[in-house]
Amino acid sequence: RKYMKLEEDLMADCEIDPRVDVCLYFIPPHRLKEIDLEFMAQLSRVVPLIPLISKADSMTTEELAGFRAEIRDRASNSDITFFDFQPRSYAQAKIGNESRALYPPFAVISSERSIDPRIFWPIREYGWGVCEAFNRDHSDCSVLKTLLLEHGIHDVKEKMLERYTEYKRHTTRRGLGACLERLLCPGRSNTALLSFSGSADS
Protein backbone atom coordinates (compact mmCIF):
# COMPACT_ATOMS: atom_id res chain seq x y z
CA ARG A 1 0.00 0.00 0.00
CA LYS A 2 2.84 2.40 0.87
CA TYR A 3 4.63 1.66 -2.41
CA MET A 4 1.41 2.18 -4.35
CA LYS A 5 1.09 5.62 -2.76
CA LEU A 6 4.68 6.38 -3.80
CA GLU A 7 3.80 5.39 -7.38
CA GLU A 8 0.83 7.72 -7.33
CA ASP A 9 3.09 10.52 -6.10
CA LEU A 10 5.66 9.69 -8.83
CA MET A 11 8.23 8.70 -6.20
CA ALA A 12 8.49 4.97 -7.01
CA ASP A 13 12.17 5.36 -7.89
CA CYS A 14 13.03 6.21 -4.27
CA GLU A 15 16.03 4.43 -2.77
CA ILE A 16 14.05 2.54 -0.11
CA ASP A 17 11.45 0.07 -1.41
CA PRO A 18 8.88 -0.51 1.38
CA ARG A 19 7.54 -3.73 -0.18
CA VAL A 20 8.32 -6.97 1.67
CA ASP A 21 10.38 -9.43 -0.36
CA VAL A 22 9.96 -12.47 1.85
CA CYS A 23 9.07 -13.46 5.41
CA LEU A 24 11.36 -15.84 7.34
CA TYR A 25 9.23 -17.59 9.96
CA PHE A 26 11.11 -19.30 12.79
CA ILE A 27 9.67 -22.50 14.22
CA PRO A 28 11.07 -23.90 17.49
CA PRO A 29 12.49 -27.45 17.32
CA HIS A 30 10.50 -30.59 18.12
CA ARG A 31 7.05 -29.00 18.30
CA LEU A 32 4.81 -27.26 15.76
CA LYS A 33 2.08 -25.32 17.58
CA GLU A 34 -1.38 -24.56 16.25
CA ILE A 35 -0.72 -20.84 16.72
CA ASP A 36 2.28 -21.15 14.37
CA LEU A 37 0.08 -22.77 11.75
CA GLU A 38 -2.47 -19.97 12.12
CA PHE A 39 0.17 -17.25 11.84
CA MET A 40 1.76 -18.91 8.81
CA ALA A 41 -1.63 -19.34 7.14
CA GLN A 42 -2.34 -15.63 7.45
CA LEU A 43 1.16 -14.56 6.42
CA SER A 44 1.34 -16.84 3.39
CA ARG A 45 -1.71 -15.10 1.92
CA VAL A 46 0.04 -11.73 1.76
CA VAL A 47 3.79 -12.37 1.57
CA PRO A 48 6.16 -15.11 0.33
CA LEU A 49 6.81 -17.29 3.38
CA ILE A 50 9.87 -19.41 4.16
CA PRO A 51 9.76 -21.53 7.34
CA LEU A 52 12.96 -22.00 9.34
CA ILE A 53 13.54 -24.59 12.05
CA SER A 54 15.58 -22.84 14.74
CA LYS A 55 18.13 -24.53 17.03
CA ALA A 56 18.28 -27.43 14.60
CA ASP A 57 21.36 -28.79 16.36
CA SER A 58 19.14 -29.81 19.26
CA MET A 59 17.64 -32.55 17.08
CA THR A 60 19.07 -35.81 15.80
CA THR A 61 19.20 -36.44 12.05
CA GLU A 62 16.15 -38.71 12.30
CA GLU A 63 14.20 -36.22 14.43
CA LEU A 64 14.97 -33.39 12.03
CA ALA A 65 13.86 -35.40 8.99
CA GLY A 66 10.61 -36.31 10.73
CA PHE A 67 9.99 -32.74 11.84
CA ARG A 68 10.55 -31.38 8.33
CA ALA A 69 7.97 -33.85 7.01
CA GLU A 70 5.52 -32.96 9.78
CA ILE A 71 5.77 -29.25 9.00
CA ARG A 72 5.17 -29.84 5.29
CA ASP A 73 2.22 -32.19 5.90
CA ARG A 74 0.46 -30.01 8.46
CA ALA A 75 1.05 -26.88 6.38
CA SER A 76 -0.49 -28.58 3.35
CA ASN A 77 -3.52 -29.59 5.41
CA SER A 78 -3.87 -26.00 6.67
CA ASP A 79 -3.75 -24.42 3.17
CA ILE A 80 -0.38 -22.83 3.86
CA THR A 81 1.78 -22.14 0.82
CA PHE A 82 5.53 -21.96 1.34
CA PHE A 83 7.72 -20.00 -1.03
CA ASP A 84 10.19 -22.17 -2.91
CA PHE A 85 13.01 -21.28 -5.25
CA GLN A 86 13.11 -22.27 -8.90
CA PRO A 87 15.01 -25.45 -9.90
CA ARG A 88 17.57 -23.36 -11.79
CA SER A 89 18.41 -21.45 -8.62
CA TYR A 90 19.05 -24.66 -6.71
CA ALA A 91 21.22 -25.91 -9.58
CA GLN A 92 23.25 -22.69 -9.68
CA ALA A 93 23.74 -22.95 -5.91
CA LYS A 94 25.05 -26.51 -6.45
CA ILE A 95 22.20 -28.10 -4.50
CA GLY A 96 21.29 -31.53 -5.85
CA ASN A 97 17.81 -32.98 -6.23
CA GLU A 98 18.16 -35.14 -3.13
CA SER A 99 18.99 -32.17 -0.92
CA ARG A 100 16.45 -29.97 -2.68
CA ALA A 101 13.67 -32.32 -1.64
CA LEU A 102 14.31 -31.32 1.99
CA TYR A 103 13.40 -27.65 1.46
CA PRO A 104 11.39 -25.89 2.70
CA PRO A 105 11.64 -25.81 5.69
CA PHE A 106 15.28 -24.90 6.23
CA ALA A 107 17.01 -26.03 9.44
CA VAL A 108 19.34 -23.40 10.90
CA ILE A 109 21.57 -22.77 13.88
CA SER A 110 23.30 -19.63 15.15
CA SER A 111 26.03 -18.65 17.57
CA GLU A 112 28.08 -15.67 18.65
CA ARG A 113 31.23 -17.81 18.87
CA SER A 114 33.56 -18.35 15.94
CA ILE A 115 36.45 -20.70 15.20
CA ASP A 116 38.69 -17.76 14.39
CA PRO A 117 37.98 -14.17 15.54
CA ARG A 118 39.29 -12.96 12.18
CA ILE A 119 36.72 -15.02 10.24
CA PHE A 120 32.95 -15.07 10.69
CA TRP A 121 32.31 -18.79 11.02
CA PRO A 122 29.79 -19.36 13.87
CA ILE A 123 30.11 -22.57 15.89
CA ARG A 124 28.41 -24.27 18.80
CA GLU A 125 30.64 -26.47 20.97
CA TYR A 126 29.44 -29.61 22.71
CA GLY A 127 31.05 -32.43 24.63
CA TRP A 128 30.81 -34.63 21.56
CA GLY A 129 32.20 -32.09 19.10
CA VAL A 130 31.61 -28.84 17.24
CA CYS A 131 28.55 -27.81 15.20
CA GLU A 132 29.27 -25.29 12.44
CA ALA A 133 26.51 -22.95 11.27
CA PHE A 134 27.91 -22.65 7.74
CA ASN A 135 28.71 -26.33 7.29
CA ARG A 136 26.03 -27.80 5.01
CA ASP A 137 26.26 -31.10 6.86
CA HIS A 138 25.27 -29.34 10.10
CA SER A 139 22.93 -26.53 9.07
CA ASP A 140 21.11 -24.97 6.10
CA CYS A 141 22.38 -21.46 6.88
CA SER A 142 24.82 -21.31 3.97
CA VAL A 143 22.22 -22.81 1.61
CA LEU A 144 19.65 -20.21 2.59
CA LYS A 145 22.19 -17.40 2.37
CA THR A 146 23.25 -18.46 -1.13
CA LEU A 147 19.66 -18.74 -2.35
CA LEU A 148 18.36 -15.53 -0.77
CA LEU A 149 21.28 -13.25 -1.54
CA GLU A 150 22.75 -14.74 -4.70
CA HIS A 151 21.24 -17.28 -7.07
CA GLY A 152 17.63 -17.11 -5.88
CA ILE A 153 17.19 -13.37 -5.35
CA HIS A 154 15.49 -13.04 -8.76
CA ASP A 155 12.92 -15.66 -7.68
CA VAL A 156 12.13 -13.62 -4.58
CA LYS A 157 11.80 -10.39 -6.56
CA GLU A 158 9.59 -12.01 -9.21
CA LYS A 159 7.20 -13.35 -6.56
CA MET A 160 7.11 -10.00 -4.78
CA LEU A 161 6.30 -8.20 -8.04
CA GLU A 162 3.64 -10.79 -8.88
CA ARG A 163 1.90 -10.30 -5.54
CA TYR A 164 2.17 -6.52 -5.73
CA THR A 165 0.71 -6.45 -9.24
CA GLU A 166 -2.24 -8.58 -8.07
CA TYR A 167 -2.76 -6.35 -5.01
CA LYS A 168 -2.62 -3.23 -7.19
CA ARG A 169 -5.14 -4.68 -9.66
CA HIS A 170 -7.48 -5.69 -6.86
CA THR A 171 -7.21 -2.32 -5.10
CA THR A 172 -7.70 -0.36 -8.33
CA ARG A 173 -10.85 -2.32 -9.21
CA ARG A 174 -12.28 -1.74 -5.75
CA GLY A 175 -11.48 1.96 -6.05
CA LEU A 176 -13.22 2.18 -9.43
CA GLY A 177 -16.26 0.42 -8.01
CA ALA A 178 -16.44 2.89 -5.14
CA CYS A 179 -16.14 5.88 -7.51
CA LEU A 180 -18.91 4.57 -9.76
CA GLU A 181 -21.14 3.98 -6.77
CA ARG A 182 -20.70 7.55 -5.54
CA LEU A 183 -21.39 8.93 -9.02
CA LEU A 184 -24.41 6.79 -9.88
CA CYS A 185 -26.02 6.35 -6.48
CA PRO A 186 -24.83 9.14 -4.18
CA GLY A 187 -27.59 8.52 -1.64
CA ARG A 188 -26.95 4.83 -1.00
CA SER A 189 -25.59 3.56 2.33
CA ASN A 190 -22.07 2.42 3.08
CA THR A 191 -23.34 -1.17 3.26
CA ALA A 192 -24.55 -0.96 -0.32
CA LEU A 193 -21.23 0.60 -1.32
CA LEU A 194 -19.29 -2.31 0.10
CA SER A 195 -21.59 -4.75 -1.66
CA PHE A 196 -21.04 -2.99 -4.96
CA SER A 197 -17.24 -2.95 -4.51
CA GLY A 198 -17.23 -6.65 -3.81
CA SER A 199 -19.15 -7.44 -6.95
CA ALA A 200 -16.56 -5.58 -9.02
CA ASP A 201 -13.98 -8.23 -8.14
CA SER A 202 -16.04 -11.10 -9.52
Q: What is the pLDDT of residues 18-76, one digit of tens each?
A: 778 899 999 999 999 999 999 999 999 888 999 999 999 889 999 999 999 999 999 99
CA pair distance 82, 89, nearest whole angstrom: 16
Residue 116's pLDDT is 76
pLDDT tens-digit series, residues 169-179? 877 765 544 44
**Are 11 and 5 within 8 A, CB to CB?**
no
**Are 127 and 135 within 8 A, CB to CB?**
no
**Are 51 and 106 within 8 A, CB to CB?**
yes
DSSP secondary structure letters along 11-34: -TT-S---S---EEEEE-SS---H
> Does the model's pTM come out above 0.85?
no
**Are 139 and 107 within 8 A, CB to CB?**
yes
Residue 3 has pLDDT above 90, yes or no: no
CA pair distance 156, 123, nearest whole angstrom: 29
